[in-house]
């Protein structure tokens, strides 16, 4: 009996936790949150056990399938529930359970004042279980089950405080936009079934090289649509900013570290499909490049700490998408950046939650300033995440982001120049907005009401958060500092993923690698310096200045909502109006007309029924005579 | 004597019966009209049987008589019960099923 055979417990433990917490109801209020933590921790320990076991095997034997039961046996179409344990899925399982457990612990303190804390932990456990189904599935059908499960958990948690209408609306928005992506997933599965006759990873990938390129391109694009919905990539990015309505641990776990990266996982996992469809791959890269710049620009203008971090998440996932679209040379780096990003972005979000905790849930960065004096641990852990996302060596982000930028410069023709420069410029903008939010929050002059000055707002007494919150932050900060470097020792991480992502042949980028590294660093330092000059050295106005047209556009999320409204919302409304009219006028008209016509004729004929037997008799006689005449007339 | 005369007679009888049914208000008289029409039909059946020399027509006439006897029993019962409840045997008073 090996540990790998117990992989189903990874999913079962948090699922059990969620079931107990939801079914036991109020009775479990007292201990429910600890059960939630325990369920997640069991999975984390098991995931580490599986990792250790896989590391003990030769690289070729690390992938194994664990068949659980037959799920949909329907003639030619049969889907089994099976788990795929390979380096990629185990990497994800580790990220999900480890970061998930830390965030569970953090949430015990963060949600302590909330009456519905038990329900919150039930949803968190449900999320962890669904996410593990997603990454451990061995077929697209089972993956889709997890895909929908995390969507549900995300919806429930964004709208956790649904007594506020705008939060409930944000949850709906996320759900609807994800449905658009899910349609793509469904169509992709139908295409696979139509062309290959199966939705198993193994069968589909084995058949992919021999499949028509048009079919592969269509499948790839539909998968990309699904990935765009889940990962908030252009053009389905609009929901992520509003999703910050959820409690901060949710933003950290679901909308930064794990769920939103599921799209990247999907693209990397579907590698064999994308490799047969260069057009689809190019579209993936373009989507990634657009989103990374889009998110970075939006991030520069947001004054809401969490929304700025959300824009940053979008931008960083853009980097991963870009790398995933580059093919085997990018897969490992996409996953690598995903892991390091999972750590430092979760740490940043937890830091933001800690700041909110100490500042009466204030979230506007223009009302912060000089908090480093009051929240030492938060400040230091946040700084670790900040340096990591900037990509300053030797912090985690440097190792992963730099590799992506380098990979983006590989290729022929116009593509390496466009994508490489986009990634490089994106790194510079990232440095600007991340430094902006770091300096605005922790440095400069205090812009909050401390009871002695006459600044607006409630009186604030900033204080450090309890140990239950700071310890997870410290652990994540250590990850932000060291994880990237440790995983890259001797290219360990890329070698570990090679059985799944394939061996990447080494290609020379169009610019020499040292030039790329130095140029990126110069841009990053320049961005950080500009932010320092404007937001730490100079005074930050409490009321936001009007700003240039670009600032205003970025504040309005580059008009993403207005665009959606114009392109989709309004035409949709018109379409429904036309359909409603057609329904009432044509369909209902025809059916109703038949009915009222029959009634009208009935009214006429009713007059004949006067109750006088003799008039009936005379009618009968007339009828008989007529019939007789007809019969005789035809015989003559 | 030509058999045609029987047919003419039955035509006359049938017409008298039909007119009686149509014009008389009294249910008993209208009922007699119905009987007259049935007997006219019987006469026709018997005449044709004679003309063609087969017995089908006569057999059919017996059937008609049996049915007519049953019909008379039920019809008279209905008329009597109507007369008892409504105090009249006028057909025009029995129009509750109108409209």
Domain residues of chain A, as ranges?
Answer: 277-555, 566-635
Question: Phi and psi of A390, rounded to 5°?
Answer: -65, -30
What is the Cα–Cα distance from B60 to A401, expressed in whole angstroms? 108
Q: Which residues of A touch B36 (CB under 8 A)?
A: none
Mean pLDDT of A442-447: 85
Closest chain A C-alpha to B30 CA, distance in angstroms: 9
**Residue A516 burial by Cβ neighbours in a 10 Å radius (0-12, 13-18, 19+):** buried
Cross-chain residue pair B91–A612, CB shorter than 8 Å = yes
Q: Which residues of B touch A621 (CB under 8 A)?
A: 18, 22
Mean pLDDT of A624-634: 93
Count how many domains chain B has: 1
The secondary structure of A123-178, three-state, reads: HHHHHHHHHHHHHHECEHHHHHHHHHHHHHHHHHHHCCCCCCHHHHHHHHHHHHHH
pLDDT of residue A539: 82
Select from A612, A617, A618 the Cβ nearest to the Cβ of B95: A612
Residues in A whose CB is inside 8 Å of some CB of B read 606-607, 609-614, 617-618, 621
* pLDDT digits 0-9 by tens, A158-202: 989 888 888 999 999 999 999 999 999 999 999 998 888 888 888
**A64-74 and A77-85 beta bridge pairing:** antiparallel
Q: Which residues of B touch A609 (CB under 8 A)?
A: 97-99
Select from B18, B21, B97 the Cβ nearest to the Cβ of A611: B97
pLDDT of residue A156: 92
Cross-chain residue pair B22–A614, CB shorter than 8 Å = yes
Cross-chain residue pair B98–A613, CB shorter than 8 Å = no
Residue B1 has pLDDT above 70, yes or no: no
Select from A609, A617, A618 the Cβ nearest to the Cβ of B98: A609
Interface contacts A/B by beta carbons within 8 Å? 34
What is the Cα–Cα distance from A269 to A91, expressed in whole angstroms? 13
Q: How confident is the model at residue A267 (pLDDT cuts 50, 70, 90)?
A: very high
- A394 prior amide bond cis, ω within 30: yes
Q: Which residues of B touch A614 (CB under 8 A)?
A: 21-23, 25, 30, 91-92
Cross-chain residue pair A621–B22, CB shorter than 8 Å = yes
Residue A66's H or E segment, with its range, is strand A64-74
Chain A residue with minimal CA distance to B99? A609
Chain A residue with minimal CA distance to B22? A614
pLDDT of residue A524: 92
Cross-chain residue pair B99–A614, CB shorter than 8 Å = no
Does any domain span residue B97? no
* pLDDT digits 0-9 by tens, A25-45: 888 888 888 999 999 999 999
Tell me which of A614, A620, A625 to substitute to probe the interface with B (most B C-beta atoms closer than 10 Å): A614
Q: How confident is the model at residue A75 (pLDDT cuts 50, 70, 90)?
A: confident
Q: Which residues of B touch A606 (CB under 8 A)?
A: 99
Degrees (nearest 5) of the Cα angle A397, A398, A400?
65
Which domain, by its residues, includes B46?
A: 4-89
* pLDDT digits 0-9 by tens, A572-609: 999 999 999 999 999 999 999 999 999 999 888 888 77
Measure the CA dihedral A182/A188/A191/A192, to 10°.
Answer: -120
Closest chain A C-alpha to B91 CA, distance in angstroms: 7
Tell me if chain A has a CB within 8 Å of the CB of B91: yes
ipTM confidence score: 0.83
Residue A292 · residue A222 · CB < 8 Å? no
Q: Which residues of A touch B29 (CB under 8 A)?
A: none
Residue identified by tokens 């069968």 is A203
Residues 6+ apart with CB under 8 A from A57: none
**Residue A306 burial by Cβ neighbours in a 10 Å radius (0-12, 13-18, 19+):** buried
pLDDT of residue A503: 76
What is the Cα–Cα distance from A275 to A457, expressed in whole angstroms? 56
Closest chain B C-alpha to A596 CA, distance in angstroms: 19
DSSP-derived secondary structure for A525-553:
HHHHHHHHIIIIISPPPSSPP---HHHHH
Residue A49 has pLDDT above 80, yes or no: yes
Chain B residue with minimal CA distance to A608? B99
Residue A1 has pLDDT above 60, yes or no: no
Mean pLDDT of B25-49: 92
A103 versus A554: which is more confidently predicted? A103
Cross-chain residue pair B94–A613, CB shorter than 8 Å = yes
Interface subset of B 4-63, CB within 8 angstroms of A = 18, 21-23, 25, 30
A256 versus A185: which is more confidently predicted? A185
pLDDT of residue A385: 92
pLDDT of residue A462: 85
Share of chain A above pLDDT 70, in %: 100
Does any domain span residue B94? no
Does any domain span residue B78? yes
Residue A221 has pLDDT above 80, yes or no: yes
pLDDT of residue B25: 87
Mean pLDDT of A495-519: 82
Measure the CA dihedral A467/A472/A476/A478, to 10°.
Answer: 50
Cross-chain residue pair B18–A613, CB shorter than 8 Å = no
Select from B18, B30, B95 the Cβ nearest to the Cβ of A621: B18
Residue A271 has pLDDT above 60, yes or no: yes
What is the CATH classification number for the domain harbouring B19?
1.10.287.3510
Q: Which residues of B touch A613 (CB under 8 A)?
A: 30, 91, 94-95
pLDDT of residue B99: 55
Q: What is the pTM of this model?
A: 0.79
Residue A51 has pLDDT above 80, yes or no: yes
Q: How confident is the model at residue A456 (pLDDT cuts 50, 70, 90)?
A: confident
Mean pLDDT of A418-440: 92
Q: Which residues of B touch A612 (CB under 8 A)?
A: 91-92, 95, 98
Q: Which residues of B touch A608 (CB under 8 A)?
A: none
Residue A447 has pLDDT above 90, yes or no: no
Average pLDDT, chain A: 88
pLDDT of residue A330: 87
Chain B residue with minimal CA distance to A621? B18
Residue B95 has pLDDT above 90, yes or no: no
Q: How far is CA B17 from the centre of its chain?
A: 7
Mean pLDDT of A347-358: 91
């Amino acid at each position: 009996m090996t540990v790998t055979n117990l992989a189903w417990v990874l999913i079962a433990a948090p699922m059990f936790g969620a079931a107990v917490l939801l079914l036991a109801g109020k009775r479990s209020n007292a201990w429910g949150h600890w059960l939630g933590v325990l369920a997640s921790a069991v999975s984390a320990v098991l995931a580490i056990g599986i990792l250790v076991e896989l590391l003990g095997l030769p690289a070729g034997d690390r992938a194994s399938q664990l068949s659980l039961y037959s799920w949909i046996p329907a003639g030619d179409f049969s889907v089994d529930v099976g788990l795929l344990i390979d380096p990629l899925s185990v990497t994800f399982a580790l990220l999900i359970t480890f970061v998930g457990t830390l965030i569970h612990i953090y949430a015990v303190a963060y949600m302590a004042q909330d009456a519905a804390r038990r329900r919150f932990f039930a949803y968190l456990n449900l999320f962890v279980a669904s996410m593990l189904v997603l990454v451990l599935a061995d077929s697209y059908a089972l993956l889709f089950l997890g895909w929908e499960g995390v969507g549900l958990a995300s919806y429930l948690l964004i709208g956790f405080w649904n007594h506020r209408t705008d939060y409930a609306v944000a949850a709906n928005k996320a759900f609807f936009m994800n449905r658009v992506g899910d349609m793509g997933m469904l169509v992709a599965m139908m295409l696979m079934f139509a062309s290959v006759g199966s939705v198993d990873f193994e069968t589909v990938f084995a058949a992919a090289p021999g499949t028509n390129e048009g079919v592969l391109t269509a499948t790839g694009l539909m998968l990309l649509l699904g990935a765009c919905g889940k990962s908030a990539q252009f053009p389905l990015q609009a929901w992520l900013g509003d999703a910050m309505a959820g409690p901060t641990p949710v933003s950290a776990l679901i909308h930064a570290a794990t769920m939103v990266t599921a799209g990247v996982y999907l693209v990397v996992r579907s590698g064999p499909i994308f490799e047969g469809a260069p057009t689809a791959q190019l579209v993936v890269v373009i989507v990634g490049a657009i989103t990374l710049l889009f998110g970075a620009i939006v991030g520069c203008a947001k004054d809401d700490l969490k929304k700025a971090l959300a824009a940053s998440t979008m931008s960083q996932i853009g980097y991963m998408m870009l790398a995933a679209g580059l093919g085997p040379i990018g897969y490992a780096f996409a996953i690598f950046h995903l892991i390091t990003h999972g750590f430092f972005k979760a740490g940043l979000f937890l830091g933001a939650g800690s700041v909110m905790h100490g500042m009466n849930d204030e979230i506007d960065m223009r009302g912060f300033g000089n908090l480093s004096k009051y929240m030492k641990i938060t400040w230091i852990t946040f700084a670790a995440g900040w340096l990591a996302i900037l990509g300053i060596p030797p912090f985690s982000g440097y190792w992963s982001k730099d590799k992506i930028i380098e990979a983006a410069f590989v290729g022929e023709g116009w593509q390496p120049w466009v994508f490489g420069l986009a990634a490089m410029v994106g790194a510079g903008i990232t440095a600007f907005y991340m430094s902006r939010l770091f300096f605005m929050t922790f440095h400069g002059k205090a812009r909050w009401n401390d009871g002695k000055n006459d600044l607006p707002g409630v009186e604030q007494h900033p204080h450090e958060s309890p140990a239950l919150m700071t310890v997870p932050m410290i652990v994540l900060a250590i990850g932000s500092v060291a994880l990237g470097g440790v995983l890259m020792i001797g290219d360990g991480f890329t070698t570990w993923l090679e059985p799944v992502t394939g061996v990447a042949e080494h290609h020379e980028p169009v610019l020499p690698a040292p030039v790329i590294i130095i140029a990126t660093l110069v841009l990053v330092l320049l961005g950080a310096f500009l932010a320092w000059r404007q937001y730490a050295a100079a005074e930050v106005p409490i009321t936001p200045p009007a700003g240039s047209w670009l600032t205003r556009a970025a504040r309005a999320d580059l008009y993403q909502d207005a665009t959606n409204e114009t392109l989709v919302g309004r035409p949709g409304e018109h379409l429904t109006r036309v359909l409603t009219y057609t329904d009432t006028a044509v369909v209902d008209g025809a059916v109703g007309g038949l009915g009222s016509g029959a009634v009208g004729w009935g009214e006429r004929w009713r007059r004949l029924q006067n109750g006088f037997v003799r008039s009936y008799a005379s009618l009968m006689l007339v009828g008989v005579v007529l019939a007789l005449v007809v019969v005789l007339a035809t015989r003559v | 004597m030509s058999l045609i005369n029987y047919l003419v007679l039955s035509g006359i009888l049938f017409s008298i019966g039909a007119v009686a049914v149509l014009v008389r208000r009294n249910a008993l008289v209208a009922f007699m009209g119905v009987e007259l029409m049935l007997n006219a039909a019987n006469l026709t059946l018997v005449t044709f049987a004679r003309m063609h020399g087969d017995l089908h027509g006569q057999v059919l006439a017996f059937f008609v008589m049996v049915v007519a006897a049953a019909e008379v029993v039920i019809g008279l019962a209905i008329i009597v019960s109507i007369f008892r409840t409504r105090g009249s045997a006028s057909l025009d008073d029995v129009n509750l099923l109108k409209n």
